[in-house]
Amino acid sequence: MKTLVIRANPRKHGHTQKLTDLFIEGLKEGKAQVKEFDLTTKKIEPCLGCYHCWLVTPGKCVHDDDMASIMKEFTACDIVVFSTPLYIYSVSGTLKVFFDRLLPYMKNEHLPAGSENIRNAIRNPKLWPKKMAYILVGAFRGLNTFEGARKTLELFSEGLQLPLCGGLIRPESYLLAFTYLKPKTIRMVNASFKTAGFELATKGEVTSSTINKASAPLSENIAHFLEDSNIYWQEAQALGSKALDPNYVNDIVVRNPKILISEMVRHIDPQATARLKATIQFDFTDKDMHFTIKINKGKCSLEESTTRDCDLTITTSSEIWAQIFLREINARNALMEKKVIVEGDKSLFARLDKYFPLPCD
């Protein structure tokens, strides 16, 4: 099966790139013949809307650029896969320019499409690919914010007579970098993109089960998503030009004390704390940030404040606590080396990893 993957993502270290790479791995494992084009590296002029390709030189555009070489592969493949990030609720501008330039491959004849829509006739239907799939990746939470882009791609499929054989949408894409949040779910999401490629190569379509796994939510609710995403951009803004490296930003954000403490509270073990009533205060000396956690028989609340009435006070730097939280260093060793100062009930400190285990889905 000849499969053409058309990439339309300008950022080469982002999640659209990485997930598409996984998809292509699956295609190749399924023995598909894969050809790729990166539209962002090609010279493709925007459509002028002049209708020269219809009225003067039918099928030939006035532009002489890279579009012709791409379309040679396009018309030769069995399946075309479009990969795009979500840009302002739609597909990327690069992909939209490509879509617009397909006008010469249609002709000035209107036909019905679906139950109520209209399409142009395809100029050479025998040369046309048989099917289409897409990969759509963005940072927003929830599938509703992808509706405009999804509808654009589905209308393109219908209007250009390319039956849809799979549509993968990945919301909350930036959270994929934070594997400690939901390690099993994130592994499942990544695996689903590879599986999708394999299914397309071997079955000719992506199953609904795989599509659903690809879009599985990573945040618990909209409040959780907004809090963490806003912290992400605050940290990125403070980094200036260094923030252009997403891996550097991710490393900073994953160690943000507010995110770490919030994740502790979200993942309290209700059984281990079923009989516990305690108040724990965290003081991060390098950030001048203070948090109070109140445990009440399996439930937990968090305030960004200090309190005089606490059972345990933990004073340390945000970096040391990040290393403890992520199990990079041992909490007891950090205490002995006085990287952490503990006042109050030290037995609480000794059992923190049981009360607040790392997320495991």
Of the residues 214, 243, 264, which one is the last residue of a structural domain?
214
Whether 17 and 92 share a structural domain: yes
Q: Which residues, listed in sequence order, are joined to residue 207 by a DSSP beta bridge?
A: none
CA gyration radius for the chain? Answer: 26
Which residue shows structure tokens 């000396």?
A: 285
Whether residue 81 is predicted with pLDDT greater than 80 in this model: the reply is yes
Average pLDDT (13-19) is: 93
Question: Is residue 239 scored above 90 in pLDDT?
Answer: no
Q: Where are the alpha helices (DSSP H) in the chain?
A: 15-29, 52-55, 67-76, 93-100, 147-159, 183-203, 208-214, 222-239, 246-253, 257-266, 318-325, 331-336, 346-350, 352-355
pLDDT tens readout for residues 53-80: 999 999 999 999 999 999 999 999 999 9
Task: Report the pLDDT value the prediction gives residue 182, as an integer from 0 to 100.
Answer: 82
**181 and 66 within one domain:** yes
Buried b (16+ CB within 10 A) or exposed e, 27-43: bbebebebbebbbeeee
CB 217: neighbour CB atoms within 10 A? 15
The answer to whether residues 207 and 270 belong to one domain is no
Q: Tell me which of 161, 184, 214 is where a domain ends.
A: 214
> Do 8 and 138 belong together in one domain?
yes
Give the separation between CA 293 and CA 287, rounded to whole angstroms: 18
Is 70 exceeded by the pLDDT of residue 14? yes
Residue 290 in domain: yes
Cα–Cα dist 210/204, whole Å = 14
| The two structure tokens encoding residue 55 | 């009225």
The whole-number pLDDT of residue 128 equals 85
Measured distance CA(90)–CA(145) in Å, rounded:
9
> Is 359's pLDDT higher than 80?
no
* Residue 317: inside a domain: yes
Q: Which domain holds residue 180?
A: 2-214
CA separation for the pair 317, 183 (Å, rounded): 26
Number of structural domains found in the chain? 2
Do 198 and 334 lie in one domain? The reply is: no
Whether 209 and 261 share a structural domain = no
Regarding whether 292 and 171 lie in a shared domain, the answer is no
**In a shared domain, residues 21 and 162:** yes
Residue 73 maps to a domain: yes
Question: Is residue 236 assigned to a domain?
Answer: no
Which CATH number does the domain housing residue 95 bear? 3.40.50.360
pTM of this structure: 0.87
Q: Which residues, in sequence order, are CB contacts of 229 under 8 Å at separation 6+?
A: 139, 174
pLDDT at 8 over 80: yes
On the question of pLDDT at 29 being above 70, the answer is: yes
Q: Is the pLDDT of residue 287 over 80?
A: yes
> Is the Cα torsion angle 5, 9, 13, 18 positive or negative in sign?
negative
Reported residue count of the chain is 361
Residue 235 maps to a domain: no
- With a cut of 70, say whether residue 361 has pLDDT above it: no
pLDDT digits (tens, 9 = 90+) for 227-237: 888 888 888 89
Are 294 and 331 in contact by the 8 Å Cβ rule? The answer is no
Q: Is residue 76 part of a domain?
A: yes
Residue 313 maps to a domain: yes
* pLDDT score of 114: 72
Assess if residue 291 is contained within a domain. Answer: yes
